[in-house]
Amino acid sequence: MDISWFGHACFRLRDRDVSVVTDPFDASLGYALPKLQADIVTISHDHPHHSHLAAVIGDFRVLDSPGEYEIRSIFITGIATYPPQRAAAEGSQHHERNVIFIFEFDSLTVCHLGDLRQVPSQAQVEALGEVDVLLVPVGGGEHGSLNASQAAEVVSLVEPSIVIPMHYRTDATTINMDGVDKFLKEMGVGRIEPVDNLKVTATSLPQPTQVVVLSPR
């Protein structure tokens, strides 16, 4: 599998001839997102920084709701989460709903946490199952997504083989968030040299958990 990051929460997951794009964004975020070819596009929530479908080309299927799906031999599970203050009234504020997506390829499972705003409950962690690659927001900031310490706690709960941080400040971003360094410190690692993309197979998964920092494409 080949994993590329285009900034914020937007990734392309490619396995054989299947391409998945997550959370495409519009130009107001600051990055220049190229036109991306996809078979499947997932949207964690309805916000221009996560749901700009005009950036994607091809005859693609859009997933933006919780549920179970099977598309082109990929099993996908969507799990809805809500900010703590809305937990008692789930669905009352649809725009605050976040959908976590778990992608089960032939030999690898990738979990995209979307714009998760709180550490998930034990039941939610168990629902994720065994995760090989975890894409986790780490920058906190004005929209209230996970900050560095919360993200590190989520990693310890999920216990993936590989962690890729997302949703943090870079030189290109226009919104107020922390950079990735705070998360790396929480994880007990020093500066990590970013790589352009990650090629991973079931036989190459590291132990213990490894943090990989990607450069935005």
Domain range enclosing 88: 65-211
Q: Give domain status of residue 204, yes or no.
A: yes
Take residue 37 and report the two structure tokens written for it: 């070819």
Predicted local confidence at residue 153, as pLDDT = 98
- What confidence tens digit (pLDDT) does each residue in 27-75 have? 999 998 999 999 999 999 999 999 999 999 999 999 999 999 999 989 9
Taking CA atoms, 67 is separated from 38, 63, 64, 70, 131, in Å, by 20, 9, 9, 10, 18
Supply the pLDDT for residue 86. 47
Instruction: Report the C-alpha gap between 151 and 24 in whole angstroms.
Output: 22
Asked whether residue 156 is assigned to any structural domain, the reply reads yes
Query: Does 105 map to a domain?
Result: yes
> What is the structure's pLDDT at 90?
44
Q: Does residue 44 fall inside a structural domain? A: no
The number of domains in the chain is 1
Residue 95 pLDDT > 80, yes or no?
Answer: no
pLDDT reading at 85 higher than 80: no
| pTM (two decimals) | 0.94
What pLDDT sits at residue 83?
80
CATH of residue 203's domain is: 3.60.15.10
Average pLDDT over residues 111-130: 94
26 in a domain, yes or no?
A: no
> What is the separation, in whole angstroms, between the first and last Cα of the chain?
17
> Residue ranges of the alpha helices (H) in the chain?
122-128, 148-158, 181-186
Least confident interval from 96-100, 124-128, 141-145: 141-145
